[in-house]
């Protein structure tokens, strides 16, 4: 099972709350399938009442992003693996099967990476390079062991990146 970590960067406005809601709604199918066990919202402004209400109404934990959003989420994660998402990321059809297969077949040292075609060009290029050389950082779309994140970022060793067949779309 996975903890879903949803990063909500920047100032809060109604549009950002809508994209957060899109991401949380898309995860419901994963909860029903038993793949997503809990969620953590990592916000730049967790004191915002709309964000707090969204977290409370969905049962998600809420934490301030601090230095690293993924490290902050790992502190509250209750599952051994974490799915890292940006608010607005919506998994495309078949994502539950992809996560389930990854969790069942991977080694603890690997990082799984879902495609994010909407990510900025330089981030996509860096992601492709990391698929060859390994990574010491975590990006949105990654599936990573919580204990590696709790040990700190950047990761102590370059972890192999396993590109996955799943895709994250923009909500």
Burial of 5 (0-12, 13-18, 19+ CB in 10 A): buried
Give the confidence band of 25 by pLDDT, cuts at 50, 70, 90.
Answer: very high
Question: Does the pLDDT at position 66 exceed 90?
Answer: no
At residue 47 the predicted structure's pLDDT band, cuts being 50, 70 and 90, is: confident
d(CA 53, CA 114): 29
Closest CA to 9 of 1, 23, 20: 20
Q: Is residue 76 predicted with pLDDT exceeding 80? A: yes
How do residues 126-170 score in pLDDT, each as one tens digit? 999 999 999 999 999 999 999 999 998 888 889 999 999 999 999
Domain ranges of the chain: 2-170
73 Ramachandran zone, left/alpha/beta (phi>0; psi -120 to 50): alpha
Instruction: Give yes or no for residue 40 having a pLDDT over 90.
Output: yes
Whether residue 28 is predicted with pLDDT greater than 80 in this model: the reply is yes
Angle value at C-alpha 82, between 149 and 156, nearest 5 degrees: 20
Are the CB atoms for 64 and 46 separated by under 8 Å? Answer: yes
CA-to-CA distance for 42 and 63, rounded, in angstroms?
5
What percentage of the chain carries pLDDT values higher than 90? 78
CATH number of 2-170: 3.90.550
Give pLDDT tens digits for 92-113: 999 999 999 998 999 888 999 9
């Amino acid at each position: 099972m996975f903890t879903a970590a949803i990063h909500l960067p920047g100032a809060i406005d109604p549009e950002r709350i809508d994209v957060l809601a899109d991401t949380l709604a898309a995860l419901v199918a994963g909860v029903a399938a038993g793949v997503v066990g809990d969620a953590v919202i990592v916000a730049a402004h967790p004191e915002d009442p709309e964000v707090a209400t969204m977290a409370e109404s969905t049962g998600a934990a809420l934490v301030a992003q601090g230095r690293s959003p993924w490290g902050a989420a790992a502190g509250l994660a209750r599952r051994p693996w974490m799915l890292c998402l940006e608010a607005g990321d919506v998994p495309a059809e078949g994502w539950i099967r992809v996560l389930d297969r990854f969790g069942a077949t991977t080694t603890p040292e690997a990082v799984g990476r879902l495609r994010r075609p909407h990510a900025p060009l330089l981030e996509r290029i860096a992601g492709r390079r990391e698929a060859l050389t390994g990574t010491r950082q975590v990006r949105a779309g990654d599936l990573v062991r919580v204990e590696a994140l709790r040990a700190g970022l950047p990761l102590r060793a370059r972890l192999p990146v396993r590109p996955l067949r799943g895709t994250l779309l923009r909500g």
